[in-house]
Structure formats: C-alpha cells, structure tokens
C-alpha cells in the first residue's frame, strides 16, 4: 500500500521537474548575458552560466532561480553600479567571480545585495574589489557559504565584507574575508550562526557586532585585523572555539567587549594580541576554557564591569595577565592556570594552596604612569611585585583566584 502511494507521489512530482527548464548562458550565443536569461526564465528554472567575462551592471534577480556559474564566470560592474541584486526568495547563487562594484558615499554599493528575501543560498563565489561584498538587509534564513572576499584595501573608501542589517536566522560558514573595512559586520542581526570563517588583514575589525542578540560564532579565525574583533551593545552571545591571533598595535584588541551582557566566551584561543580581551561595561559574562598566550595584556577589565566569571582558563607568557583601571568588584576568578603563580600544593590535589592575585603591583603602576613601561622586567619591579604578593596593599583585594591550578588545562 505504502509503495503505491510512494509511486503516485513520484509520478505527481515528475511534471514539475520536467517543466522546470535549464537555460544556458555563454558568450557569443543568443543568450549572452545573465540579464537576458533572467528575462526569459520562470520561477523554478536553472540558469547555468558558462566560463567567460560578462558585464553585469546591477543584474536584478527577481525570480526564484538556481543560478550556477560553471568554471567561475566573471560578472564585472566596471565600477558603474552594483553587480547583482537579489530580490526574490529561494534563490541559489553559486560559483561566480563578482568584481568591481561602484564605490560611493551616498549609497552602499555591493557585490551581491539581498533585500527583503528568505531562504537564499550564496555559495562558492569569489568577490574581488567590491565596495561592500555581500550585503544582506531585512532578510531571513539566508546561507552564505564558502565565499572568498577580497576588498580594495582603500583606507578612506572601503565597505564591509559580509554586511548584515536587520536580519534573522543567518548562517555564515567557511568564508574568507580580507582587505575590507570590517570583515563581517552585524547590525540588528539576531539568532544567527557564524562558523569556520577566516577574517584577516581587514582595515578595521575582523568582525563587528552591534545590537545583534542571540548569535553564536564558533571556530572562526581572526588574524591581524586593524582592530581585532569588536562586540558592542549586544546580549546573549556565544563565542566558542575561535582563534584570535596577532591583532596588534596601539588600541587594538583581540576581542573588544562593550556593553555586552549574559554572554559566553568559551574555548577560544588568544595568541600574540596586544590585548586579548578588553571589557567595558560588560556584565554577567562567563569566560571559561580559554587560552591566553603571549599577549601583551591577557584581559583588561574596566571597573565598569560587573558579575563576570573567569574560570578554567590558561594564562601563559602574557606580559600582564589581568589589568584594570580602578577597583574591580564582583568579578570572580576561579580555577585558572597562571604561569606566574609561585604558590605550592601540599596535598597534591592539583590546586595551589594559596590564592593568586592576577593583578600585579607593576600593572597598577603602569596604569598610573605609562612611561614606567620602560622598567618592565627590571630587578626593582620584580622585587616590588614579590613584596606586594606577600603583603598586598595596593592591588585590588577582591581580584584573586582562590583555587589556582598548578598545571595548565589540557585541551
């Protein structure tokens, strides 16, 4: 009985797939541009674009199409307009080289623009020299997969790589962004997942969040960006297993948190950044299982932060593990590994018997007199730090790790 239904079902489906036709676009044929192909296509059709260079000045995709590039055809806007705009849902756009969109200060010209659509897949494209790369606005359930974006690296006039504005349920995976203003930019983009992306050498931030709640980003790499990664005015964010590496220079941070609350920072690695994590006005953040290695400052927590917990992190080879600009209250450090810890463990349970104070006296001195950075690692500074550890008087009493680990956490 079930088999009959199944056959009937297949039979009913068949006409639809037969009806959907495939249109082939190739240079020097009757259909020699994507625009012409879209004109004659119906919703549900497939357009295959053969290898070649096509001029595409704001090609409008307003039907539910599957558009595939074969052997990476080039769509070039010659700096006149946007390259492609998608205004229909259920579009799949795959395998193109998109280049040379217009730059301008009045409008945000983009390589691929999506406006008010849903269920669109943008995959395997190479975007070169566009003002904005992929621009999503008012969209839902979009997938941006495995694209390779290179910006113009123009200091004054450069847009974001992947730009989201008022979006929901977006899935961004496996993209590579470089030489744009912000690699990945989120504004009012909620409930999205950002995974396995690589963002390096962007002019401003590798990734930038504004007012974007309930997002998860994991397994991304942010390397050598102008100002690292910045997360601002956002709630309930999960940052898992990312790598922040070599974001350095004055006022450059691996991860900058400003007005963030109820978030989770877990399993990330911060390596060779000027400042690993910088926190300002951030509350109720769980920072666990991270590695802070060879940074200038491991974590900088401003006095405006409240009720954050730092547990099970490794701090290795940072010039300063934790610094602050005032008195820190209600921020809890527990069960971390600190390579500067000099205590002992008599009962051999792997936990040091005396608490560790991560903020050194010298860190406090530098806070007041930045010039004294010149005395780093001198005998007098070591001496002062030792004395302060023995008899604390200047460093904040509340900041201490009651159960410092003797050996680093293995991950």
Partner 1 sequence: MLKIAKYIILDIIRSKVIIAYTLLLMAISLTIFMTDADVTKGLVSITTVMMIIVPLVSIVYATTYYFNATEFTELLVSQPISRQTILLGKFIGISSAIMSAFFVGICIPVLIFAFSVTGLTLMASGALLTLSFVSLAFLTCTLTRDKAKGIGLALMIWFYCSIIFDGLVLLFLFCFSDYPLEKVMIFLTALNPIDLARILILLQLDISALMGYTGALYQQFFGSGQGIVFSLIMQLVWIVTPLLIALRIFKKKDL
Q: Are 239 and 229 in contact (CB under 8 A)?
A: no
Coil, helix or strand for 381? Answer: helix
CA distances from 57 to 77, 100, 354 (A): 5, 10, 68
Q: Are 255 and 277 in contact (CB under 8 A)?
A: yes
Options 10, 348, 370, 410; binder of partner 1; rule CB under 8 A? 370
In angstroms, the CA 299 to CA 148 distance is 32
Residue 365: half-sphere exposure toward Cβ, Cα within 13 Å: 16
- The 3-class secondary structure across 104-125, one letter per residue, is CCCCCCEEEEEECCECCEEECC
Contact letters for partner 1, residues 193-212 (x by CB under 8 A): --------------------
Nearer to partner 1, 99 or 274 (CB): 274
Candidates 315, 296, 283, 409; CA nearest to 363 is 296
In whole angstroms, how close is the CB of 275 to partner 1 at the nearest point? 9
User: Is 380 among the residues that bind partner 1 (CB under 8 A)?
Assistant: yes
User: Is 319 among the residues that bind partner 1 (CB under 8 A)?
Assistant: yes
Element (H, E) at 163: strand 162-165
- Per the listing, tokens 């910088």 go with 278
User: Is 256 among the residues that bind partner 1 (CB under 8 A)?
Assistant: no
CA distances from 107 to 154, 252, 298, 396 (A): 17, 29, 40, 50
In whole angstroms, how close is the CB of 254 to partner 1 at the nearest point? 10
Nearer to partner 1, 212 or 314 (CB): 314
Residues in binding contact with partner 1, number by CB under 8 A = 33
User: Is 410 among the residues that bind partner 1 (CB under 8 A)?
Assistant: no
Options 205, 209, 320, 333; binder of partner 1; rule CB under 8 A? 320
Contact letters for partner 1, residues 330-369 (x by CB under 8 A): ---------x-------------------------x--xx
Options 95, 317, 343, 392; binder of partner 1; rule CB under 8 A? 317
Options 214, 316, 332, 335; binder of partner 1; rule CB under 8 A? 316
In angstroms, the CA 327 to CA 340 distance is 22
Nearer to partner 1, 319 or 335 (CB): 319
User: Is 302 among the residues that bind partner 1 (CB under 8 A)?
Assistant: no
Structure tokens at 358: 């991560």
Nearer to partner 1, 46 or 325 (CB): 325
Binding site for partner 1 (CB under 8 A): 248-250, 252, 272-274, 294-297, 316-317, 319-320, 339, 365, 368-383
């Amino acid at each position: 009985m079930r088999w009959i239904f199944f056959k009937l079902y297949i039979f009913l489906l068949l006409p639809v797939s037969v009806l959907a036709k495939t249109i082939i676009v190739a240079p020097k044929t009757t259909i020699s541009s994507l625009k012409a192909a879209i004109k004659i296509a119906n919703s549900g059709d497939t357009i295959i674009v053969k290898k070649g260079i096509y001029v595409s000045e704001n090609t409008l995709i307003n039907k539910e199409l599957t558009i595939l590039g074969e052997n990476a055809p080039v769509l070039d806007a010659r700096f006149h307009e946007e390259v492609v705009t998608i205004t229909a849902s259920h579009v799949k756009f795959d395998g193109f080289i998109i280049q040379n969109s217009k730059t301008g200060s009045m409008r945000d010209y983009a390589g691929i623009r999506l406006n008010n659509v849903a269920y669109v897949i943008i995959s395997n494209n190479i975007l070169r020299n566009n003002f904005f790369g992929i621009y999503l606005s008012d969209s839902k359930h979009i997938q941006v997969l495995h694209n390779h974006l290179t910006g113009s690296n123009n200091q004054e006039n450069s847009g974001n790589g992947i730009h989201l504005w008022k979006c929901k349920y977006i899935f961004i995976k496996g993209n590579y962004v470089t030489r744009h203003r912000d690699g990945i930019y989120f504004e009012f983009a909620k409930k999205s997942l950002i995974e396995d992306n690589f963002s390096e050498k962007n002019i401003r931030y590798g990734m930038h969040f504004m007012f974007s709640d309930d997002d998860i980003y994991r397994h991304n790499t942010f390397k050598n960006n102008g100002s690292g990664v910045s997360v601002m005015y956002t709630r309930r964010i999960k940052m898992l297993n990312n790598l922040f590496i070599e974001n350095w220079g004055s006022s450059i941070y691996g991860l900058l948190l400003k007005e963030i609350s109820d978030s989770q920072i877990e399993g990330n690695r911060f390596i060779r950044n000027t400042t690993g994590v910088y926190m300002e006005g951030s509350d109720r953040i769980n920072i666990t299982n991270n590695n802070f290695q060879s940074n200038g400052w491991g974590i900088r927590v401003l006095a405006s932060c409240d009720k954050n917990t730092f547990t099970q992190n490794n701090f290795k080879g940072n010039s300063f593990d934790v610094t602050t600009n005032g008195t820190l209250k209600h921020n809890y450090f527990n069960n971390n590994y600190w390579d500067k810890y000099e205590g002992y463990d008599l009962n051999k349970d792997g936990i040091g018997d005396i608490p560790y104070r991560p903020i050194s006296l010298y860190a406090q001195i530098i806070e007041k007199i930045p010039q004294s950075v010149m005395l780093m690692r001198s005998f007098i500074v070591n001496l002062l730090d030792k004395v302060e550890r023995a008899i604390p008087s200047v460093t904040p009493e509340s900041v201490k790790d009651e159960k410092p680990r003797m050996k680093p956490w293995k991950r």
